Structure 1
Amino acid sequence: TSLDPKRPVLIQAYVSPEVPRAWLPVKQNLLAFLREFDAAGRERVETRVVETVKYSPEAREARERYNITPLRVSSSEESGSRSNEIFLGLVFSSGTEEFVIPQFDRGLPVEYELMRSIRVVARAARRRVGVLDTPARPFGGFDFQSKRQSNEWPVVAELRKQYEVVQVGPDADYPHDLDALVAIQPSALSAPQLDRLTAWLAQGKPALLLLDPLPAFNLSLSPAAAQENSPNLAPLLKTLGIEWRSDRIVWDNYNPHPQLRSLPPEIVFVAKGNQAPMPFQEKDPVTSGLQEVVLLYPGAIAPRSGAGVEFTPLLTAGKDSGALRWSELVQPSIFGGFSILRGIPHTPGKEIATLAARVRAPSGVNAIIVADADWLGEEFFEIRRRGIEGLNFDNVTLALNAIDSLAGDTSFLALRKRRPRYRTLEKLEEKTRAYEEKRRAESEQAAAQAELRLKEAQARLDAAVRALEARADLDEQTRQIMISNVQSAENRRLQVARANINDERDRALENARIQMESSIRGVQSAIKLLAVALPPIPAFVLAIVMALRRVPDRRPNQ
């Protein structure tokens, strides 16, 4: 209703008449929404669907006028379709304004993309969002340290579809008319640059801050890696009213994806299955309705004692989680730089970590802080774009919701979260957690037994040395020679015993892991069997009932 009937919006869809089976739901959903928009928009919105095949005049028009080219579909996606290149492009135009989606990918939310594109060409007033040009290089550019060209972060391109994006330099005063600011890894700024950001936040300007203790995209930007060159973050954290330990990395054993079991627990999956009281803050429109968010090597934030701020957790880790020090997880590489270690023991902590929070203060501070920067990586935009089955992460939705909320543009918050709600196999997750807890207990028991046996071997060595030292019938030189011989012999035995004990411990841990995975596979097989066997039963019973009801009708009349 806000569209001007004097400037109608024309939507042209260049669509292949035949598409692979995997793309058929996308095409049908898109065409259904176009018909709905055409009916509801009346004279304000017009739609035109152009059937397009390769080498046709329509294909030439799409390519030459709008740079819409066919998408080549791999053979695994064709599923019997004869075509291997499809058209699914959209052109939005209103007056002189034009916006093109060259290829409508499977993972894009149809209704949201259509509504946003209509608003773009309708020249609705755009708010201004600033992106601080930190050493994380959100706008890309040449990195003289690594001598490589970095690409622009995909979140910047995504924001340009809705906002006027302003590149904010860290060394000059920020534009006063920004509706919101995005700062990725501000801990990497210099001291004067950090002071300028702190002063800007103290004025009550809305901001989305990504504070990452271990940015996987560039480990050298870790605060712990900078050491003495790291700026003092205390004024910034005090202004925000939060505590953030820059050398603590949160981990969580919860992982609802069997195909991703090889990932380390520092890849944190936030979802309702992680047993946290409230993984997503249901009272905040930014996170209410989200289903799953993934963070990579995140940190934890907490309210500062006596700060007097309104601290609202938005994302929390699960019950089976904890934290490691940066020095336990990262080691310097012999070739320079740093490398991340794997296979580190993980002991769950007593507190559930807050991974993201909204902070408001009487002084005017209005910010959303996420203790991670990797969750906005290119891979999550690619997963969303391609619509990979089973990986329906809400990372992009969370980012756009947070910026919308801060900038005061809430028109898309509810629309963006409209998608099918996927339920996990709760019984399987429950059994998996039980097996994992059993394995952890067995691992801890094996490690404790190994430690005890090593201490006993060391005690025997110490006792033998003390017995020789107590003998009065030996002169000093003989005593030292005998002690040295005993120490050498006992050390050899100790080394052999240590190797045997470690082998036994490793075998016990491996057996526990194999037993856990075998048990989980058994549960999965049972669920698959039930999924195949149960559906035909109602039809079979109905057939028997109908057959029995028809039996009397076949008897001859007496």
Structure 2
Amino acid sequence: MIPVLSALLTLLLYDVIFVCVLLAIFGLVAGTKRAAFAVMKRNFVGYFSNPTGYVFLCIFVFLTSTAAFWPHDFFNQNLATLDQLNYWYPWIMLVFIPAITMSIWAEERRQGTDELLLTLPADDFDIVIGKYMAAAAIFTASLLFSQLSTSVTLAILTEGGLDTGLIFSTYLGYWFVGATMIAIGMVASFLTGNLTVGFILGALFNAPLAFASLAETVLGRSELMGLKWGELIKNSGIARPFDDFGRGVISSSSVIYFIFVTAVALYFCMVLIGRRHWTGGKDGNTMAYHYLARIVALIVITISAVVMFRSKDVARRDMTDGQVSSLAPATLKLIRELDSDRPIKIDAYISNEIPEMYARTRYELINLLKEFKSTAAANGRTIEVNLYDNIDLFSEEAALAEERFGIEPVTRMVREQGTVQQKRLIMGAAFRAGLQKVVVPIFEYGIPVEYELVRSINTVASGSRKRIGVVKTDANMNGGVSMQGMSMARIDRHPLMDEWSKQYTVDEVDLESPISVGQYDALIAVQPSSLQPAQFQRLLDAMKAGVPTAVFEDPFPLGRQDITPTSEPKQAGGGMFGMGGQPQPKGNIVEMWDLLQLRSDGQPQPESFASDLVWQIFNPYPNLDQNTDPLWLFIDENSPGGSRLTTPEAGGPESVIASLNPDSEITNGLRQVLTLYAGSIYPVDKPTLKHTPLLRTRGDTGTIEFSKINQLLRTGRQNEIARNIKTLKPSCTVAMTIEDETKSADKPAEADGETSSDAPALKVAYVADTDLMLEVFLQIRADPNSAPDLRFQFQNVTFVLNLIDWLTQETDFIEVRKHEPIFASLRMIDLVKEDANKGVREQTEQFQKTYDEKVREADEAREKALQSLKEELKDMQEKSRDGKIPQRVLEAKQIEFQTISERLQTKQDISNVKAKREQEKNIADIRREADQKVTSIQNKVKGYAVALPCIPPLIVGVVVFAARRLRERENISKSRLK
């Protein structure tokens, strides 16, 4: 309850500041234009002293609440935004604003009080501005009431996590829209003395601004006389300037648009009210043309100002609490550095039906694309964004996306509204600049959208890519064939290769020849110890020469049995009779350690080293099996044991050991990385190179011998691993960077006669594990809900990408990956879903236990029924061997046993099938009940959100009506009362 109140009080503070600004403006007018203030006061009090005003207020609140919360898209998106209301708001205004403005002047004419107003000691401006301020004050009061009811609903749904900045800026946009439409509606009221006609004309005059957003749909995107008329008309309406407010951004271009349009409409009102001075004179027609020319000139000035400021925002402020409409500083830097003569075109395609789990990605993608366009324009750069939103899967736009860019509908299995179903969606984009093109066929909902956009824009904008080389080893990162004994297994290309290819030019390097400096911006060697000695030496030579290198060397590749462990001999496949060939020569990892001044816990071996494996007793996932293998290392920022400890690599006495080094660009901002059966590395005593730890265990941690683990796994005694961990350490380092600070890394080496001081500096990132690169981590990154009960937070892929970007000095992308916008979600609904899913899991487990118990009991009953027959058959078999029973009698008994056994088995199978069907039916029932529970809560929220806000204005309206009737009946004799 306290977070809810805190959010509402914060929003109230914004409202108080806004109202104070309005009161200051009204006070300034009241002090200088007393007649205008008197007109405003008369109209404002008159509106709310009439029950009709409260009826309109009730209708307005009802319509806004219905538009905001009734559509299913609100719960499907699961975001505490007002997107649905933003869509319907212009149409609501077409009803509500004419209801306010129709009586502004038409009622004065109908009652004959217009002449009285015109005889006041005031000029035309006083009358117009007074009427306008009264209507604006009425609208402001109505809007504040709507905001209160909407905010209370959202604050409860988010349990206090309401994005107050987004709600305030959205309602500020609503206010500007209403203020502009009021000025236009007043023009209609000044043209007629009939309330009904005033209402109709007010709606008609405002309709072009509201319906302009549909122009592109009607006219298409084709050009005529060099202009895209559909886009031009669309941008002239209120949807374009309001869009910034709806996304939580207050921009000067949007404010200027509304101010200028309002000023033109108010001037038109002044012309209409002042025409009495010249319509009857001899120069009446001339004056009419004169004022018409003035209005046209104002319209031209307004259009020019709007176009000018639209492409160059003087001020722009993201009001959202989670900065969801802001770009990372690295992204802004990239946009500023773009070549202004090299325009970038982005074609984004998004289908109309998006699964719930992709709704947030869709919201962020659209938001960022618009922000990219606006920010680029503000910095004098050109990023043309063609957003094809809400397209049908079989539309012309979808066909165009597939034909030109290969963006096709993808199928995803989702669970929505109580059913598991396959849904097809389109959500991809193509980036072009000159001859360069990058296509993102699908924005997976687990991958940062801004990072994908920035990487793609940078790739096409630069016109060239840095080159990285992936060394061909047993890991077969580029795909290949693995020979294990007589078996041959096909290995697919690792998805990380595709991930790197989006940013770099990626080549496979066989190391059959030396690597020269500058040939590659970085090398990646996965399990380099599996290389031939000559190849291994060429890799060391490249590292010595200063080629940036990432090394992933695993003493125990758990997830890739085809990779040879560091200390194991490399067997050649294809031996006779299933026997492998002779061990093949391979690189000695100790030679690399000597170069990098590293050491490891373990046992030296001939031409190799058996590194001990690191263990840690820490599991941040309560729903994960509590007997989790201690060699699964959760390198987590919140892992226990962060006290001050003394270790050589920690920086000396009283150093705080951090699991993820916050001082390194690679790991700064990361929260969790998972390694499996990793080794440990440490710098040697008194190193001359700089060693920076990246991933470290802490708390209850230590090492265990490689031979012990190998023996336990070979004999199937994995459960005994926990009982064999003995060696305790304050911390174990799994990954680190190694740099030579005695040389200048920025000064390129000369081709001939280079000295050691001129050579590039050694720069290596060493990771004692390859399992952190497993494909499953890319799958979890793309689909975080693949294990909804666990909600894994692994950032292994981000760690690997940061590692490579650090080596190639593409550190801007590291900063972009850190930028994670925080969205306000419907936590109350999420908790209901989690409770429902938890109940489904528990009851499913119970049904499974019941089913297993029934199967076990059936097996026991069958065995018991056959036990006597088995004993009898066994006895007969013994007697048959002694010749006491004829063979035909034994055969008859065997047939009888087989018949009875088959009959019992058939009976048991039928019973098992029935039990299985019953189990599946029960599971389906509880899933349906869980989904109905969620739907019921959503329907209740809809009902309360729509109905409850209407009650207060109705009550106040009834009270005002009763008070008015009582005042009318005062001083009237009872005989005259009916």
Q: Is the 8 A contact 2:351 2:392 kept in 1?
A: yes
CA RMSD of aligned residues (A): 3.0
Q: Is the 8 A contact 1:404 1:410 kept in 2?
A: yes
Q: Is the 8 A contact 2:414 2:422 kept in 1?
A: no
1:191-340 aligned at under 5 Å gives the runs: 191-216=533-558, 217-218=560-561, 221-226=564-569, 231-244=587-600, 245=602, 246-261=610-625, 263-275=628-640, 276=642, 277-331=657-711
The worse-fitting range, judged by mean Cα deviation, of 404-413 and 219-228 is 219-228
Paired with 2:822 and 2:665, the residues of 1 have a C-alpha distance of: 17
Q: Which amino acid aligns with 1:153?
A: H
Structure 2: unaligned runs, 5 residues or longer? 1-335, 571-582, 603-609, 643-656, 744-760, 824-978
Shift of 1:73: 3.2
1:61-210 aligned at under 5 Å gives the runs: 61-77=400-416, 84-145=423-484, 146-177=487-518, 178-210=520-552
Q: Which has the larger radius of gyration?
A: 2
Give secondary structure in 1 for the equivalent of 2:691: strand
Note the alpha carbon deviations across 1:446-467, whole angstroms, 9 max, x for none. xxxxxxxxxxxxxxxxxxxxxx
Shift of 1:95: 2.5
Note the alpha carbon deviations across 1:77-106, whole angstroms, 9 max, x for none. 567999922211111122232211111110
Alpha-carbon spacing, 1:125–1:56, altered in 2? closer, same or farther (3 Å): closer
Note the alpha carbon deviations across 1:243-267, whole angstroms, 9 max, x for none. 1344311121211112333541211
Give secondary structure in 2 for the equivalent of 1:84: strand
Paired with 1:292 and 1:112, the residues of 2 have a C-alpha distance of: 19
Partner of 2:766: 369
Q: Is the 8 A contact 2:391 2:398 kept in 1?
A: yes
Alpha-carbon spacing, 1:11–1:310, altered in 2? closer, same or farther (3 Å): same
Q: Which amino acid aligns with 1:221?
A: T
Partner of 2:800: 399
Paired with 2:553 and 2:488, the residues of 1 have a C-alpha distance of: 25
Partner of 1:353: 732
Partner of 1:485: none
Paired with 2:587 and 2:412, the residues of 1 have a C-alpha distance of: 50
Q: Is the 8 A contact 2:459 2:503 kept in 1?
A: yes
Partner of 2:200: none
Paired with 1:410 and 1:181, the residues of 2 have a C-alpha distance of: 17
Q: Is the 8 A contact 1:18 1:83 kept in 2?
A: no
Q: Which amino acid aligns with 1:412?
A: F
Give secondary structure in 2 for the equivalent of 1:289: coil
Question: What is the number of equivalent residue pairs in this alignment?
Answer: 425
Give secondary structure in 2 for the equivalent of 1:372: coil
Note the alpha carbon deviations across 1:494-542, whole angstroms, 9 max, x for none. xxxxxxxxxxxxxxxxxxxxxxxxxxxxxxxxxxxxxxxxxxxxxxxxx
Give secondary structure in 1 for the equivalent of 2:804: helix
1:34 to 350, 365, 369: 369
Paired with 1:78 and 1:98, the residues of 2 have a C-alpha distance of: 39
Q: Which amino acid aligns with 1:369?
A: Y
TM-score by length of 1: 0.70
Shift of 1:132: 1.0
Q: Which amino acid aligns with 2:592?
A: L
Paired with 2:472 and 2:593, the residues of 1 have a C-alpha distance of: 20
Paired with 1:90 and 1:71, the residues of 2 have a C-alpha distance of: 14
Note the alpha carbon deviations across 1:477-503, whole angstroms, 9 max, x for none. xxxxxxxxxxxxxxxxxxxxxxxxxxx
Q: Which amino acid aligns with 1:380?
A: F
Give secondary structure in 2 for the equivalent of 1:402: helix
Q: Which amino acid aligns with 1:74?
A: M
Paired with 2:527 and 2:507, the residues of 1 have a C-alpha distance of: 18
Alpha-carbon spacing, 1:149–1:41, altered in 2? closer, same or farther (3 Å): same
Paired with 2:695 and 2:717, the residues of 1 have a C-alpha distance of: 25
Shift of 1:421: 8.3
Give secondary structure in 2 for the equivalent of 1:223: coil
Give secondary structure in 2 for the equivalent of 1:330: helix
Paired with 1:355 and 1:206, the residues of 2 have a C-alpha distance of: 19
Paired with 2:423 and 2:562, the residues of 1 have a C-alpha distance of: 41
Alpha-carbon spacing, 1:121–1:79, altered in 2? closer, same or farther (3 Å): farther
TM-score by length of 2: 0.41
1:414 to 780, 795, 815: 815
Alpha-carbon spacing, 1:340–1:366, altered in 2? closer, same or farther (3 Å): farther
Shift of 1:133: 1.0
Paired with 2:662 and 2:562, the residues of 1 have a C-alpha distance of: 33
The worse-fitting range, judged by mean Cα deviation, of 399-408 and 244-253 is 244-253
Q: Which amino acid aligns with 1:148?
A: A
User: Percent identity between the aligned chains?
Assistant: 31
Q: Which amino acid aligns with 1:184?
A: V
Alpha-carbon spacing, 1:333–1:26, altered in 2? closer, same or farther (3 Å): closer
Q: Which amino acid aligns with 2:683?
A: P
Give secondary structure in 1 for the equivalent of 2:415: helix
Alpha-carbon spacing, 1:340–1:311, altered in 2? closer, same or farther (3 Å): farther
Shift of 1:193: 1.8
1:2 to 337, 342, 359: 337
Q: Is the 8 A contact 1:10 1:47 kept in 2?
A: yes
Paired with 1:20 and 1:136, the residues of 2 have a C-alpha distance of: 36
Note the alpha carbon deviations across 1:307-327, whole angstroms, 9 max, x for none. 322221111012112222122
Partner of 2:192: none
Which structure features the higher share of helix residues? 2
1:515-530 aligned at under 5 Å gives the runs: none
Alpha-carbon spacing, 1:75–1:168, altered in 2? closer, same or farther (3 Å): closer
Shift of 1:393: 1.6
Paired with 2:670 and 2:414, the residues of 1 have a C-alpha distance of: 33
Q: Which amino acid aligns with 1:100?
A: V
Q: Is the 8 A contact 2:689 2:738 kept in 1?
A: yes
Paired with 1:61 and 1:124, the residues of 2 have a C-alpha distance of: 25
Q: Is the 8 A contact 2:414 2:421 kept in 1?
A: no
Paired with 1:86 and 1:78, the residues of 2 have a C-alpha distance of: 17
